[in-house]
Structure 1
């Protein structure tokens, strides 16, 4: 079964990451790299998204022209910063993999078809 793990950065997490020294930040990124390596046999695709301020939002409104704006859909204290698609037996296995994530403090796990 396929699941998408959406990594969600909180405002607090982003501040903590920014406040880290270079060595501490490098160690944090290395932990993420190890996580991807440890689960490489289950990960079918993954990517890190550009910062939220680079987003473009399109609102489709019936038959009228779409409204396109710079920035995210909503201003929020939590933003999706990346995702990984995994192929696992069931939700329990997806949760086990998600539980070991070493970075962003929030993860949305959603079945994918």
Structure 2
């Protein structure tokens, strides 16, 4: 079964990452690289997204579409990346999400 794991950063997490010294930040990034390597057999595609301030939003409905710079909503949480995974079931996707070493929120959605 296919799922998408969406990695969600919080303002608090971003501040902690920014406050890390070079060695701490390098170790944090290495943990993520290791997670992807350990799960490479189940990950079919993954990407890191550019920061939320680089987004462009198109609002549809009610006449002419409205295009604005920035994310749909300003929030304290933003999706920073995702991984598409092929696993047996939700339990396996949950196991992967529980072992994610970076941002504090992982949203899991089945691929329709």
Q: TM-score, structure 2 length as denominator?
A: 0.98
Matched with 1:12 is: 12
Q: Extract structure 1 runs of 4+ deviating beyond 3 A.
A: none
The reply to whether residue 93 of structure 1 matches residue 92 of structure 2 is yes
Q: Gaps (5+ residues) in structure 2?
A: none
Q: Distance in 1 between matches of 2:61 and 2:110?
A: 28
Report the RMSD for the aligned CA atoms in angstroms: 0.7
Q: Gaps (5+ residues) in structure 1?
A: none
Give matches, 1:18-29, under 5 Å: 18-29=18-29
The reply to whether residue 46 of structure 1 matches residue 36 of structure 2 is no
Q: Distance in 2 between matches of 1:57 and 1:110?
A: 22
Q: Distance in 1 between matches of 2:54 and 2:93?
A: 30
SS of 1:16's partner is helix
